[in-house]
């Protein structure tokens, strides 16, 4: 029993990271129908940047994170404007290739700026709480809480603000949104900005829980897509549920079945869900 609870807790932290990655992907997908493959690399970049600001530039950690998030927003805006906008009217395969090109550029840029080394963002949070045999490292607890807070504010933003509604409107019917007076040129910029900011947060979490290294972006984005598919493309609740399911499934699979095959089991679950519900858990038919 304790083991089960512990394993679920283990899975929640990583699940939170998956949710954040998937949230960014899902909003971009919902609005623009783009499979933004570069999202993982951008997350990685955000993690590296935070590490650099905190370790080499000596900023306090929270300031470093805030600065990286701001840079992430700008980067997201630039990506939409310079890379995706020109191919908006072409087929979605073209946008996918642009995404691959972006991935390479971000990876390359990251190597130039921060080198090949794996880095760990130092948080200084090494206390461990224990409740009835279940241990929770302080850091993991904060990660779970931060993820929850970000998810909640994202949901509120989309549901309750005018801009959030405009984002939904563009996602559902671009032309009608124009006719409502929505500036449809600006919306994708906002969406990419927010999405990338969330990606940066995910990168920071991975970088402090574990480590970030070149190439980790691929892993992140693949997991993000798996979550998206599991939860249903374009659905925010879907991303949240999908991320948690994937994180916990992996932890349970690693703990109770086989750690070597935990990814395989996670993907098997995803494929199985899809075959029963081709539109994902929360997707619209």
Partner 1 sequence: MQFRPAYLALAAAAVGLVLLPQIIGAKYYLHLSILALIWTIAAQGQNLIQGHAGYVSIVQAGFMGIGAYGTTLLGMHFALPVWLTMLLAPFVTALFALAAGYPSLRVKGHYFAIVTLAYNLVIFIVLTNWTSLTHGEAGITGIPKPGGPDGWFDFRDRATFYYLTLILAGAMTGLAWLIARSRIGQTLRAIRQNEDLVGAIGIPAWKYKLFAFVAAAAFAGLAGAVYAHYQSFINPEVFGLAQSLDAILAVIVGGSGTIAGPFIGAFFVVFLPEYLRFADAFRLIIYGLALILATIFMPRGIVGVASDLWARIRRGRE
Partner 2 sequence: AERTLRIGVSDALTGGASVYGLPQANAIKMAADEINAAGGVKVGGDSYMLDVIAYDDKGNPTEATNAVRKLIDFDEVKYILGFCCSGAASAVASFIADEDAVMLVGNAAERSITARGIPNLVRTRPPADYTGAAAGAFVGKRGHKRVAVLGALDVGFYALYVDAFEKELNKAGGQIIARESFGLKDRDMTPQLTKIREMNPDALLVVGYVEPAAFIYRQSVELGMDIPRYGFTSGSEEQFLRVATSEQMEGVWDLRPTELTLQSATETGLAYHRNYTERYGMPPSPSSPYAYDNVYALKHAIEAAGTVDDTRAVARALRELAPPPEAVMQYLPVDGKMFDRNGQAYTANGAFQWRGGKWVYVEELPSDAKAYSEFLASLR
Partner 3 sequence: MDALLSIRDLRVAYGGVEVVHGVSLEVREGECVALIGANGAGKSSTLRAICGLVPARAGSIRFDGREIANAPGHRIVRAGITMCPEGRQVFPQMTTLQNLRMGAYARSDDEQARDLEAMMDMFPILRERAHQPAGTLSGGEQEMLAIARALMARPRLCIFDEPSLGLAPRIVAEVGETIARIKAMGKTILLVEQNSSMALRLADRAYLFEAGEIVLSGSGEELQAHPEVARAYLGH
237-242 long-range contacts (CB < 8 A, ≥24 apart) are 237/282, 238/26, 238/280, 238/281, 238/282, 238/283, 239/19, 239/22, 239/23, 239/25, 239/26, 240/19, 240/23, 240/151, 241/281, 241/282, 242/18, 242/19, 242/22, 242/280, 242/281, 242/282
Report the DSSP beta bridge partners of residue 265: none
Within residues 166-205, the interface with partner 3 by CB under 8 A covers: 166, 168-169, 172-173, 175-185
Token reading at 164: 């959030």
The stretch among 13-21, 110-118, 164-172, 188-196 that binds partner 3 (CB under 8 A) is: 164-172
- Residue 90 CB, nearest approach to partner 1 (Å): 5
Residue 256 binding: pick among partner 2, partner 3, partner 1, none (C-beta 5-8 Å cut-off by kind): partner 2
Q: Which is nearer to partner 2, 207 or 280 (CB)?
A: 207
Contacts with partner 2 by CB under 8 A lie at: 2-3, 6-7, 10-11, 14, 116-120, 126, 128, 130, 135, 137, 140, 209-211, 213-215, 219, 250-256, 259-260, 262-263
Beta-bridged to residue 135, according to DSSP, are 130
Helix (H, G, I), strand (E, B) or coil at 210: coil
Considering the complex, state which of residue 88 and residue 127 has its C-beta at the smaller distance from partner 3: 88
The helix-helix angle for 186-209 and 61-79 (nearest 10°) equals 140
Cα distance between residue 42 and residue 44, in whole Å: 5
Number of neighbouring beta carbons within 10 Å of residue 4: 12
List of residues contacting partner 1 (CB under 8 A): 29, 35, 83, 86-87, 90-94, 96-98, 100-109, 111-112, 218, 222, 225-226, 228-229, 233, 260-261, 263-264, 267-268, 270-271, 274-275, 278-280
Q: Which CB, 116 or 160, lies closer to partner 3?
A: 160
- From partner 1, partner 2, partner 3, none, interface partner of 102 (C-beta below 5 to 8 A by class): partner 1
Query: Residues interacting with partner 3, by CB under 8 A?
Result: 162, 165-166, 168-169, 172-173, 175-185, 284
């Amino acid at each position: 029993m304790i083991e089960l609870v512990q394993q679920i807790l283990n899975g929640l932290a990583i699940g939170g990271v998956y949710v954040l990655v998937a949230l960014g992907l899902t909003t971009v997908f919902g609005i623009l129908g783009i499979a933004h493959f570069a999202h993982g690399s951008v997350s990685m970049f955000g993690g590296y940047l935070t590490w650099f600001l905190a370790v080499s530039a000596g900023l306090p950690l929270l300031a470093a994170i805030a600065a990286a998030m701001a840079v992430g927003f700008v980067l997201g805006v630039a990506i939409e404007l310079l890379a995706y906008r020109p191919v908006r009217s072409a087929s979605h395969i073209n946008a996918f290739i642009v995404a691959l090109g972006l991935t390479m550029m971000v990876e390359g840029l990251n190597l130039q700026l921060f080198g090949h080394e794996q880095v760990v963002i130092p948080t200084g949070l090494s206390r461990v709480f224990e409740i009835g045999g279940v241990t929770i490292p302080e850091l993991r607890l904060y990660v779970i809480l931060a993820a929850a807070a970000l998810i909640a504010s994202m949901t509120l933003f989309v549901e309750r603000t005018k801009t959030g509604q405009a984002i939904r409107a563009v996602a559902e019917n671009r032309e009608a949104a124009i006719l409502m007076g929505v500036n449809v040129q600006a919306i994708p910029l906002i969406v990419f900005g927010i999405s990338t900011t969330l990606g940066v947060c995910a990168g920071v979490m991975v970088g402090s829980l574990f480590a970030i290294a070149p190439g980790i972006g691929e892993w992140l984005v693949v997991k993000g897509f798996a979550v998206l598919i599991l939860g249903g493309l374009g659905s925010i609740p879907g991303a949240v549920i999908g991320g948690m399911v994937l994180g916990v499934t992996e932890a349970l699979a690693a703990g109770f079945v086989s750690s070597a095959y935990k990814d395989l089991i996670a993907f098997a679950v995803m494929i199985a869900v899809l075959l029963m519900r081709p539109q994902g858990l929360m997707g619209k038919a």
